[in-house]
Amino acid sequence: MGTALVTGASAGLGLEFAWQLATAKHDLVLVARDEERLTRLASQLEAAAGIRAEVLVADLSDRVDVERVAIRLRDDERPVGLLVNNAGLGLNQTFVGGDVSREEAALDVMVRAVLVLSHAAAEAMTARGRGAILNVASVAALLASGTYSAHKAWVRSFTEGLAVELKDTGVTATALCPGFVHTEFHERGDIDVSSYPAIAWLNAESVVATALADVRRGVVISTPSARYRTISALARIAPRSAVRAVGRYRKAIEHQDR
């Protein structure tokens, strides 16, 4: 069934991607910083699904590590048929007054690494005439929620442009744009989400299943759930002043919660 490489595979959506791909009999290359969690996950996947799971420990804020992952994607003797650029992080800080080194690390992980790894994968895949790239963006790409929105807006726009360039090559590019998903993401980022209503949350299993189904169909923008498709449509047509007002309201709520 081919090999898939998943970044941020040790937790959150990346972990769910790993399990669903293994269940579908894909061999895996698991990429994350935590070697212990990756090794344990690889053993579990191999035992449960009968696939091969390779561990590739890498910090995607480190350019040397990113290049090691890119080299793996270029390996024609062990071809990767699906790249899932999933790694990400929440900063939980304002830009003004925040730690700029953390901002740079987030930019490296969620923008630069996506660019470099997509480039490596696209070149290898187009040479073979088949493959798929799935970049995890967010509904936040359409909003005004600090640098996280900016990163995800770049991922969405980049993926759309890549999809245009890849037309008729046998290779596809898809941007996954979920809303809030029940994972470790917010807890690991120390982000308080207690004020967010239950209806805002999606299940990781259904988000990943939708994303993989859309990849198989060659969908460029994958937005799981009807409610987030509606929110996305409204955000696209609303005046940007209204979008910014929502961002200011969220900031006020977050400040109040602290």
Q: Which two tokens stand for residue 212?
A: 């993989």
Strands (E), 50-96: 53-57, 82-85
Q: Phi/psi at 176 (nearest 5 deg)?
A: -90, 125
Percentages (nearest 5) of helix, strand, coil residues in the chain: 55, 15, 30
How many H helices and E strands in the chain?
10, 9
Burial of 204 (0-12, 13-18, 19+ CB in 10 A): buried
196 catalytic? Reply is: no
**Roughly how many angstroms between the first and final C-alpha of the chain, as a whole number?**
48
Residue 70: in which H helix or E strand, if any?
Answer: helix 63-73
Q: Phi/psi at 205 (nearest 5 deg)?
A: -60, -45
Q: Which two tokens stand for residue 26?
A: 């894909």
Q: Which two tokens stand for residue 126?
A: 């187009």
Of 148, 196, 228, 249, the catalytic one is: 148
Q: Where are the alpha helices (DSSP H) in 167-225?
A: 185-188, 204-217
Q: Any idea which residues carry the catalytic annotation? A: 148
